[in-house]
Amino acid sequence: MSPSSVRPESGTAATPVDDALADLIDLERYPLDQPGSDAYREAVARVRSQLHDDGCALLARFIREDRLAALREESEALSPQAFFSDNSVNPYVTPDDPDLPEDHPVRCFQHYTNGFVAKDLIPDQAIVKRLYRNATFQRFIADCLEEPVIHEFADPIAGLVINVMPEDTELPWHFDTNEFIVSLMTRRPESGGEFQYCPDIRRPGDENFAGVQRVLEGDHDEVRSLTLNTGDLQLFKGRYSMHRVAAAKGQRLCTLLGYAKAPDMMGSLEHTRKIYGRVTQQHIDADNQRRHDRLMG
């Protein structure tokens, strides 16, 4: 994709960026403050090209080098508030279905041991929450995703979370509730902890259970692996690409910024209860809504 084919909705004039954002993001590499410029179009085109290729884009060194320590220390300070879900989940985080064959993916349960610091436990002044709510940042993400607008999750628990993975824990194979996710690595482990994924293994209306089962049984021919460093930003279409995080040596901390195409996005009741240990009345009220893509999870 050429830079000229990228037409952001943001206009052609430079956009003022608040001091907090300018102090955090490497604006020379990612010129969020210049939405009409060639540099902006080139940055967006690079991300779109990666997303078109395999549903995953890496924005390396998105955070300024002189802010990495503060970013890491913030997530470390919040990590003790994580809820650890020590249970078994299938890739869809749904209940077992005894009517299906024993080797069906819905009946493939994996040990799930990592934790999450929920959105309502992250203070408003936190670096990651200020980034999450920043309109200029949201405009850039929307342009990268080729969306006219994106919305913050309505979910009061899962909208913005810090994934906490102590040493030797794993985040097993799963699909996301949302079509895409934005993640920011806030502490890279000493070793391991690679992000592994199967690009577009399912599509709207087609679960491709056979393909999912092959991966779960150890066929990783189509699996790709990505190592994230502290300060790297990642855009990923996790609704359609099954993915996991490998075991690591040393703690791994990654902030997940939840955005959606619609303003009323909520996590499912079952998923929220299992992963975060609690639900709200909002989750209960939204539980009867049917996803338009007719996919599980």
Closest CA to 17 of 81, 74, 59, 64: 64
The per-residue pLDDT for 82 is 95
Give the rounded percent of residues in the chain with a pLDDT score beyond 70: 91
Q: For residue 250, count CB atoms less than 10 angstroms from its CB and return exposed for 0-12, middle for 13-18, buried for 19 or more.
A: middle
Residue 59: helix, strand or coil by DSSP? strand
**Position 202 pLDDT exceeds 60:** yes
CB atoms within 10 A of CB 219: 11
Q: Contact, 91 vs 216, CB < 8 A?
A: yes
Rg (CA), the chain: 19
Tell me the one-letter amino acid at 192.
G
Least confident of 27-36, 121-130, 259-268: 259-268
Alpha helices in the chain (DSSP H): 19-24, 38-54, 68-78, 127-133, 135-144, 209-216, 269-276, 281-286
Mean pLDDT of 171-197: 93
Tell me the pLDDT tens digit for each residue of 247-282. 899 999 999 999 988 888 888 887 788 888 898 888
**Position 206 pLDDT exceeds 70:** yes
The per-residue pLDDT for 292 is 61
The per-residue pLDDT for 98 is 95
The per-residue pLDDT for 86 is 79
Q: Contact, 246 vs 191, CB < 8 A?
A: no
Least confident of 3-7, 70-74, 134-138, 261-265: 3-7
CA distances from 189 to 63, 165, 230 (A): 17, 9, 9
Whether the CA torsion 226, 230, 235, 236 is positive or negative: it is positive
Read off the tokens for 87: 């249970």
Read off the tokens for 64: 């300024």
Cα(160)–Cα(152) distance, rounded to whole angstroms?
9
The per-residue pLDDT for 287 is 75
**Position 13 pLDDT exceeds 80:** no
Query: Mean pLDDT for the chain?
Result: 89
Give the rounded percent of residues in the chain with a pLDDT score beyond 90: 68
